[in-house]
């Protein structure tokens, strides 16, 4: 190898390349309104094949990568629940690449920054000071971490002995996000041991839950976990978290809350703020930054009420990871003791830069505004002659059908076709879900770029297609 | 909210900020040799606390974040096994922030790019075309995914029923990385059901393994998994992967290979290339890009020989994730069906940009050179009057003691002190490990910036401290 390993031979040339990449990235952000999702041409798909020849990649990325984003950065994207990204991600992306931190442990800046992000989030969610937390890729990962902590609290020896012999059972409302089922599968507890509790007025029915727990106990199972939902994926509904916390305490169950996006109503104005009353009483909360805090993918957090439970579930230090009282091997916590990963990227810098650059008030205003936009969309749907709401808007999710006058099957076909067509024309991105078996259009507004005019334009496009 | 949501009100001002951040990031990379690890002053630690007031963060990041990296970007950093990062990460970081891709699924560029990265890696590792793969945070995550696929192959109903009733057992060589134990714990199989097989000449003893499997079967357990190591964390040793593949086939076990860093000898020159002969016969491989491919944290991959096994372990699509034949909800694979995460960041762009900008040949040369540097370090240690090697160098890991003439306890204290002191002075970063109970200095060279002069300077500094 020559002098500088794989570093650029000509730094001036590389600096020019990098500034060109930055300009192209800035152009993309500034012109995002004119750059909706569009299908990736087959030639571009195949062009991604790795050649491995080396060279200036900036033109290729500008031409073949930037235009083919997933659409979520566009002001009229409301599909699934996806965040829209922030200008601060660009700053964090550069600084993050320059420090290349492995935040699994040891004593360096990124560890302290993650601690600051965990602390801030813990406070906003109303959790006590002894709570622990670790940043994760998403709520799915955070759910796995929380459930393992819950299991270890219920079965102190399970890390050694494994699951066999004890049938644990967990409880969640019908419509709970699939992350809960996948975590039950992964942990070897089994999806059959997740009990789906009926909803009453869109919330888990506490009476039914208590009866199911009693039945399972009578049948020899060990109920250990209750999963509350703060923002259901289909309809944006919220469980009564205070009621669940009372029940969890009575029944000696771990209360986990899936707050993937909905937990962020904690920084919104009322009436949305009150949706998450009681959240801080949970034993664990899983939530994303990349959805309703708009931060770049991926970025989430697992918060655990008692950090001792988190360490009990994950801490382990073989000889090659021994800590030290000084030097680079010092410091505490080592985040590898708080979750699955030993090597961990620097997600905290995205959240930190977002809050410090945009300010907390801007997030509070944007989240509140997204709820208002969902309500506005519902108003316009209700006022439109043939459209109808599929469910009441509670937070930021609006589900509706384009033609309530058609039969179920025809509605399903039409709504599915409208979703696809609007995606392809770039006019708007709705996803679909089923309400009583009917495919409906669904907007989950976690997008700080959405304005009232966007809602109007999208609904006009829906009406146009529905009239054909 | 006003016109542009949270986007900059003054784009020209933001462009200037961003270019300043880029210049500072470029300075950091270009001057990395003069910027070793240093402790984070308490005022800086506390200064990370989130204020949330908004403003220009570039100066603050330049002053309080860039200098306090984890050391791994420096040419004389060889602690643990950490990659050093690449200039291409800066390009990928900007483009990645501009597209903000969620690579959990759907039809957009980042999905095709990840497919290209999986394909390239699969080919290099010698796996067949029907292999599947998914990028993960690290080998720890990839191990969890691989083990779950192995378990589902052994117990088809386990996702529904959970682990109870069947005691699965797994086998790995003594010294196997803790990621294997943690995955056994997380999956509810239990660390007690991980059997540690004695080593013979640094490799798992096949005869002993076969005997242990037979004993476990006789005792009613269900052996399901064998874990080979390609590059052990302590000493950089390699199992005989062809022998293990034969055994796995005879015994009907799933062969997983932990190739976190060592798998990359597949693109090195001989004799290092041959260390991983047989790797492509594994049922699964877990390996990092952020270690010996130098790519920014975090970035790894789980490769599964038969993609059907991977889907069987993870695929699940509730109503709100239904695919479509066209539009944004089209495309296949959806990577959420290949692992734990539903929301997934865009790791592929880091690998893709690295290979396309630096070229594959540069990686091959750097990896080969790192092995040569470890051998060179061993030569210098052996030639030094009081130092002694703790073990033979096989790949890129060199473990030694500064004073072989001292008693064990004094050696341990001295080596630990030297490691800490050199970290604090910024002269070099070794980590430590134990060989026969003695704490020794350990260099794992996964650093494309390391030159012979760095090895010489670091050993001179060790000798200096040892002589005091």
ipTM, two decimals = 0.97
On chain B, the residues whose CB falls within 8 A of the CB of A82 are 102, 343
Taking CA A90 as the corner, what is the angle to CA A86 and CA A96, rounded to the nearest 5 degrees?
Answer: 120
Q: How far does the CA of residue A327 sit from the closest CA of chain B (Å)?
A: 5
Query: pLDDT of chain A along its 468 residues, tens only?
Result: 444 689 999 999 999 999 999 999 999 999 999 999 999 999 999 999 999 999 999 999 999 999 999 999 999 999 999 999 999 999 999 999 999 999 999 999 999 999 999 999 999 999 999 999 999 999 999 999 999 999 999 999 999 999 988 999 999 999 999 999 999 999 999 999 999 999 999 999 999 999 999 999 999 999 999 999 999 999 999 999 999 999 999 999 999 999 999 999 999 999 999 999 999 999 999 999 999 999 999 999 999 999 999 999 999 877 778 888 888 888 888 999 999 999 999 999 999 999 999 999 999 999 999 999 999 999 999 999 999 999 999 999 999 999 999 999 999 999 999 999 999 999 999 999 999 999 999 999 999 999 999 999 999 999 999 998
Handedness of CA B320, B322, B324, B328 (dihedral sign): positive
Cα separation, B457 vs B244, whole angstroms: 41
Backbone phi, psi, residue A226, to 5°: -125, 135
* Least CB–CB distance from B353: residue in A57, A140, A165: A57
Given B50, B120, B318, which is nearest A356 (Cβ)?
A: B50
Q: Which residue of A has its CA nearest to B328?
A: A423
Q: Confirm or reject contact between B107 and chain A (CB < 8 A).
A: yes
- Give the CA-trace dihedral at B345, B346, B348, B352, to 10 degrees: -160
CB B239 within 8 A of CB B245: no
Dihedral sign from CA coordinates of B176, B182, B183, B187: positive
| Cβ-based contacts of A30 with chain B (< 8 Å) | 7, 11
| Binding-face residues of A in 131-170 toward B, CB within 8 A | 137-141, 144, 148, 151, 158-168
Strand, coil or helix: B227: strand
Q: Does A357 touch chain B (CB under 8 A)?
A: yes
**Which of A124, A108, A92 is closest to A352 using CA atoms?**
A92
User: For residues B433 and B420, what is the distance between their CA atoms, to the nearest angstrom?
Assistant: 13
A200 has which bridge partners?
Answer: A203
CA dihedral B64, B69, B75, B78 (to 10 degrees): 150
Contact check, Cβ <8 Å, A158/B86: no
Contacts of A446 in chain B (CB under 8 A): none
Nearest to B290 among A50, A75, A343 (CB): A343
User: Quick one: B264 exposed, middle or buried, by C-beta within 10 A (0-12, 13-18, 19+)?
Assistant: buried
- Interface contact flag, A297 B186, Cβ < 8 Å: no
> Looking at beta carbons, which residues of chain B come within 8 Å of A1?
365-366, 369, 448, 451
Nearest to A362 by CA among B10, B61, B1, B49: B1
| Inter-chain residue contact A1 with B451, CB threshold 8 Å | yes
The answer to whether the Cβ–Cβ distance between A298 and B140 falls below 8 Å is no
Gyration radius from chain B CA atoms: 24
Say which of B98, B108, B166 has its CB closest to residue A29.
B98
CA-based nearest residue in chain B for residue A234: B320
CA distance B176 to B233: 8
Cβ-defined contact of A342 to B297 (cutoff 8 Å): no
Does A34 contact B at CB distance below 8 Å? no
Q: What Å distances lie between residue B178 and A143, A317, A446, B70, B140, CA to CA?
A: 22, 8, 39, 22, 9
Three-class HEC string of chain A? CCCCCCCCCCHHHHHHHHHHHHHHHHHHHHCHHHCCCCCCCHHHHHHCCCCCCCCCCHHHHHHHCHHHCCCCCCCCECCCCCCCCCCHHHHHHHHHHHHCCCCCCCCCHHHHHHHHHHHHHHHHHCCCCCCEEEEECCHHHHHHHHHHHHHHHHCCCHHHHCCCCCCEEEEEECCCCHHHHHHHHHCCCCHHHEEEECEECCEECHHHHHHHHHHHHHCCCEEEEEEEEECCCCCCCECCHHHHHHHHHHHCCEEEEECCCHHHHHHCCCCCHHHHCCHHHCCEEEEECCCCCCCCCCCEEEEECCHHHHHHHHCCCCHHHCCCCCCCCCCCCCHHHHCCCCCCCCCHHHHHHHHHHHCHHHHHHHHHHHHHHHHHHHHHHHHCCCCEECCCCCCCEEEEECCCCCCHHHHHHHHHHHHHHHHHHCCCECEEEEECCEEEEEEECCCCCCCHHHHHHHHHHHHHHHHC
Please identify among residues 205-244 of chain A the ones whose CB lies closer than 8 Å to any CB of chain B. Answer: 233-234
Rounded CA-CA distance A222/A230 in Å is 25
Nearest neighbour of A162 by CB, restricted to B93, B119, B193: B193
The structure tokens 């794992």 sit at: B444
Within 8 A of B163 by CB-CB distance, chain A residues are: 162-164, 188-190
User: B321 and A165: CB-CB below 8 Å?
Assistant: no
Interface touch A50/B117, C-beta < 8 Å? yes
**Which pLDDT belongs to residue B339?**
96
- Is residue A22 within 8 angstroms of chain B, CB to CB? yes
Chain A residue numbers touching B35 (CB-CB < 8 A): none
A76 lies within 8 A of chain B by CB: no
Choosing among B9, B24, B97, which should be mutated to test the A contact, i.e. which has the most A CBs within 10 A?
A: B97
A21 at interface of B, judged by CB pairs closer than 8 A? yes
Interface of B with A in 391-410 (CB under 8 A): none
Give yes or no for a contact between B235 and B399, defined as CB atoms under 8 angstroms apart.
yes
B38 part of contact set with chain A, CB < 8 Å: no
Instruction: Tell me how many residue pairs between chain A and chain B have CB atoms under 8 A apart.
Output: 573
B94 and A22 within 8 Å at the Cβ level: the answer is: yes
pLDDT at residue B231, as a whole number: 97
Alpha-carbon span A316 to A334, nearest angstrom: 10
pLDDT recorded at residue A1:
44
Task: Give the pLDDT of residue B165.
Answer: 84
Q: Is B82 helix (H, G, I), strand (E, B) or coil?
A: coil
Where residue B285 falls (left for φ over 0; alpha for ψ -120 to 50; beta otherwise) is: beta
Contact B18 A107 (CB under 8 A): no
Nearest Cα of chain A lies from the Cα of B155 at a distance, in angstroms, of: 11
Q: Which of residues 189-208 of A touch B (CB under 8 A)?
A: 189-193
Quote the minimal CA–CA distance from B258 to chain A in Å. Answer: 14
> Domains, chain B, ranges and CATH?
101-358 (3.40.640.10), 360-467 (3.90.1150.170)
Report chain A's C-alpha Rg in angstroms: 24
By the 8 A CB rule, do B236 and B262 touch? Answer: yes
Distance from CA of B130 to the nearest CA of A (A): 17
Instruction: Give pLDDT tens digits along chain B (468 positions).
Output: 445 689 999 999 999 999 999 999 999 999 999 999 999 999 999 999 999 999 999 999 999 999 999 999 999 999 999 999 999 999 999 999 999 999 999 999 999 999 999 999 999 999 999 999 999 999 999 999 999 999 999 999 999 999 988 999 999 999 999 999 999 999 999 999 999 999 999 999 999 999 999 999 999 999 999 999 999 999 999 999 999 999 999 999 999 999 999 999 999 999 999 999 999 999 999 999 999 999 999 999 999 999 999 999 999 877 778 888 888 888 888 999 999 999 999 999 999 999 999 999 999 999 999 999 999 999 999 999 999 999 999 999 999 999 999 999 999 999 999 999 999 999 999 999 999 999 999 999 999 999 999 999 999 999 999 998
pLDDT, residue A4, reads 64
Angle at which helix B360-383 crosses helix B348-358, to 10 degrees, equals 90
């Amino acid at each position: 190898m020559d002098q500088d390993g794989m570093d650029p031979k000509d730094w001036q040339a590389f600096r020019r390349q990098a500034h060109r990449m930055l300009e192209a990235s800035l152009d993309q952000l500034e012109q995002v309104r004119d750059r909706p999702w569009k299908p990736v041409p087959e030639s571009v798909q195949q062009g991604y094949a790795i050649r491995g020849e080396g060279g200036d990649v900036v033109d290729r990325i500008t031409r073949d990568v930037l235009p083919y984003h997933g659409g979520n950065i566009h002001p009229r994207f409301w599909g699934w629940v996806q965040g829209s990204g922030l200008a601060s991600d660009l700053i964090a992306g550069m600084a993050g690449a320059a420090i290349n931190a492995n935040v699994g442990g040891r004593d360096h800046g990124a560890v302290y920054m993650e601690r600051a992000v965990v602390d801030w989030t813990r406070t906003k969610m109303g959790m006590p000071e002894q709570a622990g937390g670790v940043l994760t890729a998403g709520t799915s990962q955070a759910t796995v971490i929380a459930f393992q902590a819950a299991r270890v609290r219920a079965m102190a020896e399970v890390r050694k002995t494994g699951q066999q012999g004890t049938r644990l059972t967990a409880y969640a409302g019908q419509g709970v996000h699939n992350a809960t089922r996948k975590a039950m599968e992964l942990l070897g507890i089994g999806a059959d041991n997740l009990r789906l509790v009926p909803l009453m007025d869109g919330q888990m029915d506490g009476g039914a839950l208590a009866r199911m727990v009693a039945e399972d106990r009578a049948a020899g199972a060990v109920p250990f976990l209750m999963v509350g939902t703060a923002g259901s994926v289909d309809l944006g509904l919220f469980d009564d978290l205070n009621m669940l916390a009372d029940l969890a305490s009575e029944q000696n169950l771990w209360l986990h809350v899936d707050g993937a996006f909905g937990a962020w109503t904690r920084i919104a104005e009322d009436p949305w703020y009150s949706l998450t009353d009681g959240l801080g009483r949970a034993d664990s909360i899983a939530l994303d930054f990349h959805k309703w805090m708009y931060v770049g993918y991926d970025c989430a957090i697992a918060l655990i009420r008692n950090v001792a439970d988190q360490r009990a579930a994950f801490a382990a230090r073989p000889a090659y990871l021994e800590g030290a009282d000084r030097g680079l091997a010092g410091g505490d916590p080592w985040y590898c003791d708080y979750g699955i990963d030993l090597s961990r990227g620097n997600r905290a810098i995205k959240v930190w830069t977002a809050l410090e650059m945009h300010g907390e008030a801007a997030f509070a205003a944007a989240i509140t505004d997204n709820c208002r936009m969902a309500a506005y969309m519902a108003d316009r749907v209700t006022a439109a002659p043939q459209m109808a709401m599929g469910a009441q808007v509670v937070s930021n999710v609006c589900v509706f059908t384009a033609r309530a006058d058609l039969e179920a099957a025809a509605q399903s076909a039409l709504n599915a076709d409208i979703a696809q067509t609007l995606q392809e024309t770039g006019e708007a991105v709705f996803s679909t879900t089923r309400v009583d078996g009917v495919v409906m259009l669904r907007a989950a507004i976690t997008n700080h770029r959405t304005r009232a005019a966007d809602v109007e334009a999208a609904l006009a496009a829906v009406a146009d297609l529905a009239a054909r």
